[in-house]
Every structure is written in C-alpha cells, then in structure tokens.
Structure 1
Amino acid sequence: MKVGSHVENQNNIAKVCMLAGKIMLECSAETYRVEDTMDRIAIAFGVENPQSYATPTGINFSVDRAEAANFMRIAKRTTDLYKIAEVNRISRMIVSGELELNEAFDSLKELDRNHSVYSNTLLVIAATFVSGCFTIMFGGTWADFIPACIAGGLGFAAMLGSERLVEIRFIAEFFASLIIGLIAVGFITLGIGLELDKIIIGAVMPLVPGLHITNAVRDLMAGHLVAGVSKGAEAVLTAFAIGAGIASVLAFI
C-alpha cells in the first residue's frame, strides 16, 4: 500500500471512529462504552493499537500511540437510547465484515442527521402519564392522579421550551420544577387533589437524572474516574435545580 493511500485510509478510519463516538456521547452513552466501540471499529479495519479517550464533553482518538490525535468537542447532550443502539448495531456489522469503511461512514452520517424518533409532543404526553403513574406508585390517591399528570406534563413542556431560550440546562430544570410546584399548590388550593407531596414527587420524576446517575456509577465501576465524577456532579446539579425550584414555591405558601 502506498504511503499516501495508507495515510488517507487511517484518516478515514479515524473519521468513522470519531463520528461513532460523537453520536454515542451526544446521546448520553457511558464513556467506557464509547471507547470500547471506537476501539472495536478501528481494530476491525486493521488498526493494531487504537488509542481512544472519551469524556462527557470531548473525544480523543489516534490510530497509534505515536500518531497525531484527533479531538472533537461535545457541546450538547441529550438522551436517545435508540441512536446508541443503532451505533452498536453498525459497529457489530463492521466487526463481522458486513460493512466496508465507506459504507460504515455513510450509515453513521445518516444516523447523525436523523432527528430523534420521539417528537417533543410525544415526550410531553409520555411525561404527563408517567407523572400520574409515579404519584400512584408512591402512595398517592386517584384524586392526585390528574393534578400530577397536568403538573408533570406542563413542567416537562416548560423545560423543553426554556432550553431553547436558555442553553443552561440548570436554569431550564429550575424553571420546570418551579412551574410544577406552582401548579401542584394551585390544585390543592382549589381542592383538587389530596396530597401535595405525592403530586409534586410524581410530577418531578420525568426531570430526575436517573440515566446520568446510572452512567456515573457504571463509569466509576469501569475505572473511568473523570467521566464518572463529572456525570455524578451533573446529576447532583440537576437534583439541586429540581429541589430549589420546588423549595422556592413551598417557601411562600
């Protein structure tokens, strides 16, 4: 193989690995899973000693220890388990030899361009019913079901809307929990619903960072201390924002 074509091939392998890692990190995959997927893809294309390093906000990848490293910044993250599963499927096809390098890159680019399979409207509807179900599960009465559904749905919609105006997720989550607290108190004041605490607890559950907490623990157990601690800190900030919003409402009633 000529030197020029060899270098070009290595660059293309790095592009495929970086794109796969980018999609997974933006969809809230664990960092150890991201690194493992990038390494497996690189090895499948003939790289003997791939070097990958991922954090929640960036990816580094090199085809060898002494080669130049590629870096990509991850600015925005969301939760999309479907895309994570699709990247895993594509990586398995690469390892089994079903996809060539160009085909893998095209498949990943198409996946990266695709929007989430769940629209914001569907997410709000799901949050609405989930809130009511959590209220019942935590010991609330059926009289609290409808207030919890409305408070949870409107609160989640408020978070999605405020995220478009303010890029700081902490503020969006604080505003959402504030809306939930106000609506819950309003229902109790009007005599609709019986237990304020059960309504609030059920309504804030769609905002709780369960995936971030799980990923933080799994990364720590896998030895990825930087990623585990940073994701844990992010989960703590989210929990603090939710608690601060509810506390702000309860402080004035």
Structure 2
Amino acid sequence: MSTSTTASATYAQRIAFVCETASRLHTYGTTAQRLEGAVVVLAERLGLECEPWSNPTGLILSFSDPSRPLGASDTTRVIRLAPGENDLYKLAESDRIAEAVAGGAMSIAQGHTALRALDRNPSRLWRATQLLAFGLASGAVAGLWRLPWVDVATATAIGLLIGLQSLLNERRPRLREASDAVSALMAGIVAVLVSNLVQPLNLNSVIIAALVVLLPGL
C-alpha cells in the first residue's frame, strides 16, 4: 500500500475496509481457508495485524495496530452473514478492488464505493443474458454427449425453466433455500412428460444435462 493512502486512512477506516472485503468474499463463495488467507494478506498491506476466523454463517476478525503498544489498539469485529453463494464475477471484482486498494491505486473510500456498486440491481439485458445462458449451458452439455435433437431441445428448455426459477427466487428468499430440489423435481417432470407425450428420451442423460447449471460456479 502506498504511503499517501496509508496516511489518509484512519485505523477505523482500514478495519472497516477489511471487514467489508471479508464479508464480500464470504458472501460470494470463497472457501474458509482462502478467505482467511486473503484477509491476513490484505490487513498486512494496510498496516494491520488480523486474526480471522470464518464459519458458514459469520466471521470473527481480531485487529491490532503493530505501530501501537501491545493491547492498546485491539479490536474485534463479529460479523453475522448468511451462507454464501458462488458468484465468480463478483468474487473476481472484490479481489480486484482489494488489490487496487492494497496497492495504492484506489483510496479506501473509493474501494468502499466500488464494492457497494456490486450491489446494484442487474439490468434487464443482464437478466435476459443470464436466462439464455442457463438454456445454452444445458443444451451444450446434451450436445456434447451427442444426444438426439429432441433430447438436446428438452435439456435446453429445462435449463431455461431453471434459469427463470433462479430469477424469480431473487424475490423469494424462502424459496431460494429449496431451489435445487424444486429444479430437480421440475426437470424430472418435464423430461418424463416429453418422453411420454412427444418422443422417448434418454431420461437420465437429459435430466443430468439440464441440471448441470446448478453446479457451483456456473
């Protein structure tokens, strides 16, 4: 971190930025060991000592300022968080912002602003693109397995339905907890209906291809 950036940021501001970054990494699906390692490195580069502890529903971060007498600046933050979900884009952006702040390319205030910008509601174009990606991912897997065109079309259609459900779940937090089970049930029902009413399908392959979009990171 550059000297000018360090000088312009107070002890509390540096702690707040580390806490914000740690919360984002947790929310976006970083594993506990990687999160703790990243927090320690970021804190060191901001002139802090930090002992992090991560669990699926929260963080405990203990800070101290190595330039002050032992025990004079000890601070602990307990952060309650919901279990994280994999979001590779936001995870990469959070990492990039943290690196920029630690390297002096951004001030801590600019880093906070950039992190909070990740909370903006996605545009309609983004939602439409995401929905299309669900269908394409399922159809592509079915195509790679060289399934008949009806199987590929069915897997694609189920992928689109799962994508639509995923978008609807954003407004229904309670339903989100059961989204994987609901998606699997929906995939099975649609595949069986098509197989019985339209043309026999390779049911296992179609259902697996349709559900591939639920794999972490996709």
TM interval, short-chain normalised? 0.7 to 0.9
Give the 3 Å change call, closer, same or farther, for CA 20–184 of structure 1 in structure 2.
Answer: same
Tell me, yes or no, if the aligned pair for 2:58 and 2:81 is still in contact at 8 Å.
yes
Summarize deviations over 1:106-161 as a string: whole Å, max 9, x none: 333333x3345884432221111111121233352223111111122113323442
In structure 2, what is the equivalent of residue 132 of structure 1?
139
Cα distance in 1 for residues equivalent to 2:120 and 2:135: 26
Tell me, yes or no, if the aligned pair for 2:27 and 2:85 is still in contact at 8 Å.
yes
Say whether residues 1:88 and 2:95 are aligned partners: yes
In structure 1, what is the equivalent of residue 128 of structure 2?
121
Cα distance in 2 for residues equivalent to 1:152 and 1:90: 33
In structure 1, what is the equivalent of residue 15 of structure 2?
14
In structure 2, what is the equivalent of residue 30 of structure 1?
31
In structure 2, what is the equivalent of residue 109 of structure 1?
116
Cα distance in 2 for residues equivalent to 1:99 and 1:25: 22
Show structure 2 runs of 5+ residues with no match: 1-6, 65-69
Matches within 5 A, 1:151-162: 151-162=158-169
Give the 3 Å change call, closer, same or farther, for CA 109–165 of structure 1 in structure 2.
Answer: closer
Cα distance in 2 for residues equivalent to 1:170 and 1:108: 26
Give the 3 Å change call, closer, same or farther, for CA 165–55 of structure 1 in structure 2.
Answer: same
User: Deviation at 1:103?
Assistant: 3.0
Cα distance in 1 for residues equivalent to 2:195 and 2:174: 33
Cα distance in 1 for residues equivalent to 2:20 and 2:109: 13
Give the 3 Å change call, closer, same or farther, for CA 77–121 of structure 1 in structure 2.
Answer: farther
How many residues end up aligned between the 2 structures?
Answer: 203
Q: 2:206 aligns with which of 199, 205, 229?
A: 199
Cα distance in 2 for residues equivalent to 1:168 and 1:183: 20
In structure 1, what is the equivalent of residue 184 of structure 2?
177
Q: CA RMSD in A?
A: 2.8
User: Deviation at 1:85?
Assistant: 1.3
User: Deviation at 1:104?
Assistant: 2.7
Cα distance in 1 for residues equivalent to 2:133 and 2:159: 10
Cα distance in 2 for residues equivalent to 1:77 and 1:52: 17
Cα distance in 1 for residues equivalent to 2:126 and 2:56: 24
Tell me, yes or no, if the aligned pair for 1:156 and 1:176 is still in contact at 8 Å.
no
Tell me, yes or no, if the aligned pair for 2:169 and 2:175 is still in contact at 8 Å.
no
Summarize deviations over 1:158-183 as a string: whole Å, max 9, x none: 34425633525442221121111111
Give the 3 Å change call, closer, same or farther, for CA 160–201 of structure 1 in structure 2.
Answer: same
Q: Which amino acid aligns with 1:127?
A: F
Cα distance in 1 for residues equivalent to 2:36 and 2:57: 14
Q: Which amino acid aligns with 1:167?
A: R
Tell me, yes or no, if the aligned pair for 2:25 and 2:35 is still in contact at 8 Å.
yes
Give the 3 Å change call, closer, same or farther, for CA 62–10 of structure 1 in structure 2.
Answer: farther
In structure 2, what is the equivalent of residue 247 of structure 1?
none
Cα distance in 2 for residues equivalent to 1:9 and 1:150: 54
Q: Which amino acid aligns with 2:139?
A: G
In structure 1, what is the equivalent of residue 4 of structure 2?
none
Identity, % of aligned positions: 22
Structure 1 ranges of 4+ moved more than 4 A: none
User: Deviation at 1:73?
Assistant: 1.3
In structure 2, what is the equivalent of residue 61 of structure 1?
61
User: Deviation at 1:43?
Assistant: 1.6
SS in 2 for 1:167: helix
